[in-house]
Each structure stands twice: as C-alpha cells, then as structure tokens.
Amino acid sequence: MSSACHHFFSHWTTEEERQTITAALDQALQTGDSVGVYIALAQLTQPCDARRSLAARTTRTDIDGAHDPE
C-alpha cells in the first residue's frame, strides 16, 4: 500500500486503496478468515491523519467518503 499512513495496519488514502481493502474484506468474509477480517476492518477504520493530510493537499474536499462532490 502506497499510503502515507504509518499505523501498524495502514489506512487507505486513495479510492483505489479503499477498494482493494474492501475486496480483501469480502474475500476474508467469504473464506472465514477471521484474521483477514480483523486486518481489513482495522485498515478501513477512521479517523486517520494521513487521509486528513491528503485531503488538505488535494482539491477533493472529502477523502473519507462522507460527501462526494462529484
């Protein structure tokens, strides 16, 4: 993951990363991988300063997905 997050389980900072983690969560749920579920949920959990920092540097106002102006 190429994010600027430095947590033990890196949080997503781009939409592509969020989709990758969501796909990993779906896979873990389908296969009964409880550790995979735990890791994916940790990566999707907010808030993370890396996303806020990225949001401040971009023209898009909300990286967290609460409001998508597009």
pLDDT digits (tens, 9 = 90+) for 7-60: 778 888 888 999 999 999 999 999 999 999 999 999 998 777 776 665 565 555
In a domain, residue 6? The reply is: no
Count the domains in the chain: 1
In a domain, residue 62? The reply is: no
pLDDT at residue 70, rounded to an integer = 47
Q: Which phi-psi region, left, alpha or beta, contains residue 22 (left: φ > 0; alpha: ψ -120 to 50)?
A: alpha
Verdict on whether the full-model pTM lies above 0.75: no
In a domain, residue 2? The reply is: no
Sign of CA dihedral 13, 17, 21, 26: positive
- Give the structural domain span for 35: 15-57
pLDDT at residue 53, rounded to an integer = 62
Contact 65, 18 (CB under 8 A): yes
Sign of CA dihedral 26, 32, 34, 36: negative
